[in-house]
Amino acid sequence: MTDRKPMIAVLTGAGISTDSGIPDFRGPNGVWTRDPAMEKLFTLQNYLADPDVRRRSWLARQDNAAWTAEPNAAHRALAELDAAGFPVRVITQNIDGLHQRAGSPERKVIELHGTMFRVRCVDCGAVTTMREALDRVAAGEPDPACTECGGILKSGTVMFGENLDPDTIDTALKVALACDRFWAIGTSLTVEPAATLCAVAAQSGARLTIVNADPTPYDVIADEIVREPIGTAVPRMVRELISGAGSR
């Protein structure tokens, strides 16, 4: 008999943040569903080649709902699970920082697609804050250039056509291999290599739970599929685990 708590790996997508007022991308009211042309703003080749795309991108960043969003019940529940002594690692496709603001320790949150709160020069690699760049936009620079070399600035997020940071994906893979349970929450599981983490975890013996409103390509290998709204499902799952009802 052992009192070892199971290691929980949690992959989160845009769906976990919709209750915080941040729209997803591909859902019925998603950003790209409502305006397919917006997807161009997230493609590196278009961004680098077209100054107009960059100008539209900076305006969109100013209006991003994440600036005023607050963590919701699902974010807080995952932080509570960590506080209860469970080894939790959050692997997120989101760039909004809400897991950290909810109380999940920064070192335990793996941001696969980067963060919206930093800006990087694509030429010299200089890093500054998004707030600094947006202040320049507000002051009249529609497409602010790097102050170090004059190069193009982009958000510290991973765009389509851009590789994920190899160290970040390596860390995520190690977590998927080591966990006892893998929860995929609010993600369509159509973006690789993030989605593959489900298979990696399942093949390594982890119990796979998918919490998503719509079917995903990985439902066929899941041990449990939850269609309940994320804002109620995740707190319930956490309560059950903490109380011992869901222990292995």
Q: Are 169 and 193 in contact (CB under 8 A)?
A: yes
Q: What distance in Å separates the CA atoms of residue 46 and residue 77, rounded to the nearest whole number?
A: 38
Question: What 3 state SS string does 146-202 have?
Answer: CCCCCCEEEEEECCECCCCCHHHHHHHHHHHHHCCEEEEECCCCCCCCCCHHHHHHH
Q: Are 213 and 185 in contact (CB under 8 A)?
A: no
Q: What distance in Å separates the CA atoms of residue 38 and residue 112, rounded to the nearest whole number?
A: 21
Among candidate residues 76, 99, 108, 113, the one labeled active-site is 113
3-state percent helix, strand, coil for the chain, nearest multiple of 5: 40, 20, 40
Q: Is 113 a catalytic residue?
A: yes
Which stretches within the chain are classed as H helix? 31-34, 44-49, 51-62, 73-83, 98-102, 130-138, 166-178, 196-203, 230-243
Q: Is 72 helix (H, G, I), strand (E, B) or coil?
A: coil
What does the block give as tokens for 61? 């960043």
Q: What distance in Å separates the CA atoms of residue 139 and residue 124, rounded to the nearest whole number?
A: 24
Cα dihedral 231, 88, 65, 195 sign: negative
Q: What angle do CA 28, 32, 33 make, to 5 degrees?
A: 30
Catalytically active residues are: 113
